[in-house]
Amino acid sequence: MTKHMPDIACQPHQGPQGKLNWVGMSGIELPILISTANIHRELSSQVQAYVSLDDPMSKGIHMSRLYLILDEMGSEEPLSPQRIEAILKAFLASHQGLSNQAFVEFQFDYYERRKSLKSDNSGWKHYPTILRGELRNGQFECEISITVPYSSTCPCSAALSRQLIQEAFEAQFAKQTLDYQTVVDWLGSPEGICATPHSQRSYAQVKLKLANEQSLDISGVINAIEDAVQTPVQATVKREDEQEFARLNASNLMFCEDAARRLQAQFLTNDHFQDFWIRVNHLESLHPHDAVAIVTKGVEGGYIQDPNLMDRL
């Protein structure tokens, strides 16, 4: 016989009464399936799962039901906006009479093999990714956030370095009759490059609002971001790759404002996404603080105006 066990959550609530915005769990460890560019990958994720508590007389929600739904639905087929909406509807169905809103977030590292710039090598790069879904008053929204590292070289520092090189050249060769080889040899010497512009590892965090019927093309988003900034960090590097990376940096001098506008232009031309939010961080090598620029699809209306990353909960 099944042993009777008390269910405290179903007993009358005697304490202070009130509705709660969200109740649930964070830090849930869950394997998930991601399908992008016709490749299926099983990845480990950290999940947050919540429902609203709209019945002020209820002690709480049934957290185990959320976990069991995630365990059943989160890994049996690839995640997509449609799949996330189905998970949220299952959350609410399991809390009928208690909850009207549901939220889920999957955080994971997406790995992609990227080719070297010049050599015949390739290596793995990881891209922190967040996939979120929310069902509020019957309205479903889905968002994906991807963070891409790149290199940024300061235009101001580059101009100041060029000035010092010009001054060094003038000091070395003033009033001399120069021949071509002398100049070439000097440019190839340590004295010929007496100053270098500062550059730093930088990060583009791009958040996109997905339509319900949209496919999850993480590789395509990464390509769009890296194509816009032109200086993505490299995995496997030989000398020819490093030299090409130096050339790309010199050809793509960027303040954080420049990088944000490049990304803005890239995603304004892409009508696949309902909305976007972009934040770029240049981790300054000159300063102990970062340079930051943020832009949304509608700068005035803004899909998110809070400059703090993207956490709603």
Q: Are 115 and 79 in the same domain? A: yes
User: Which whole number is the average pLDDT over 15-30?
Assistant: 91
Task: Take residue 158 and report the two structure tokens written for it.
Answer: 């580059």
Q: Are 126 and 52 in the same domain? A: yes
pLDDT number for residue 311: 45
pLDDT number for residue 10: 64
Domain contains 307: no
Q: Is residue 198 over pLDDT 50? A: yes
Q: Are 102 and 145 in the same domain? A: yes
pLDDT number for residue 12: 63
User: Which whole number is the average pLDDT over 181-185?
Assistant: 91
Q: Are 175 and 83 in the same domain? A: no
Range of the domain at 289: 19-154+198-273+280-296
Q: Are 252 and 144 in the same domain? A: yes
User: Which whole number is the average pLDDT over 27-35?
Assistant: 94
Quick one: three-class SS letters along the chain?
CCCCCCCHHHCCCCCCCCCEEEEEEEEEEEEEEEEECCEEEEEEEEEEEEEEECCCCCCCCCHHHHHHHHHHHCCCCCCCHHHHHHHHHHHHHCCCCCCCEEEEEEEEEEEEEEECCCCCCEEEEEEEEEEEEEEECCEEEEEEEEEEEEEEECHHHHHHHHHHHHHHHHHHHCCCCCCHHHHHHHHCCHHHCCCCCCEEEEEEEEEEEECCCCCCCHHHHHHHHHHHHCCECCCCCCHHHHHHHHHHHHHCECCHHHHHHHHHHHHHCCCCCCEEEEEEEECCCCCCCCEEEEEECCCCCCCCCCCCCCCCC
* Gyration radius from the chain CA atoms: 26
User: Which whole number is the average pLDDT over 152-169?
Assistant: 95
Q: Is residue 4 over pLDDT 60? A: yes
Q: Are 59 and 149 in the same domain? A: yes
- Give pLDDT tens digits for 148-157: 999 999 999 9
Domain contains 7: no
Q: How far is it, in rounded angstroms, from Cα 25 to Cα 104?
A: 10
Q: What does the angle CA 205 – CA 208 – CA 209 come to, to the nearest 5 degrees?
A: 150
User: Which whole number is the average pLDDT over 72-86?
Assistant: 91
pLDDT number for residue 68: 96
Domain contains 269: yes
Phi, psi at residue 149, to the nearest 5°? -85, 145
Phi, psi at residue 233, to the nearest 5°? -65, 155
Q: Are 83 and 169 in the same domain? A: no
Nearest to 142 by CA among 83, 201, 200: 83
Q: Is residue 14 over pLDDT 80? A: no
User: Which whole number is the average pLDDT over 126-153?
Assistant: 96
Q: Is residue 309 over pLDDT 60? A: no
pLDDT number for residue 270: 80
Q: Are 31 and 162 in the same domain? A: no
pLDDT number for residue 312: 41
pLDDT number for residue 58: 85
Domain contains 309: no
Give the pLDDT band (50/70/90) at residue 306. very low
pLDDT number for residue 307: 45
Give the pLDDT band (50/70/90) at residue 36. confident
Domain contains 12: no
Domain contains 302: no
Q: Tell me the pLDDT of the chain averaged across its residues.
A: 90
- The residue from 192, 220, 248 where one domain ends is 192
Which of the two residues, 17 and 109, has the higher pLDDT score? 109
Q: Are 53 and 172 in the same domain? A: no
Q: Is residue 188 over pLDDT 70? A: yes
Domain contains 108: yes
Q: Are 128 and 37 in the same domain? A: yes
Residue 42, domain CATH: 3.10.270.10
- Give pLDDT tens digits for 238-293: 999 999 999 999 999 999 999 999 999 999 988 788 899 999 999 999 999 999 99
| Residue 130, C-beta contacts closer than 8 angstroms, at least 6 positions apart | 105, 106, 107, 143, 144, 145, 310
The strand pair at 199-210 and 139-153 is best described as: antiparallel
How many domains, in total, are found in the chain?
Answer: 2
User: Which whole number is the average pLDDT over 77-95?
Assistant: 95
Give the pLDDT band (50/70/90) at residue 123. very high
User: Looking at the whole model, is its pTM more than 0.85?
Assistant: yes
Q: Is residue 303 over pLDDT 70? A: no
Q: Is residue 147 over pLDDT 90? A: yes
Domain contains 303: no
Q: Are 224 and 83 in the same domain? A: yes
- The residue from 167, 192, 217 where one domain ends is 192
pLDDT number for residue 273: 86
The pLDDT > 90 percentage for the chain reads 74
Q: How far is it, in rounded angstroms, from Cα 60 to Cα 49?
A: 15
259 and 240 in contact (C-beta within 8 Å)?
A: no
Give the pLDDT band (50/70/90) at residue 222. very high
Q: Are 145 and 164 in the same domain? A: no
pLDDT number for residue 13: 65
Nearest to 152 by CA among 114, 82, 85, 201: 201
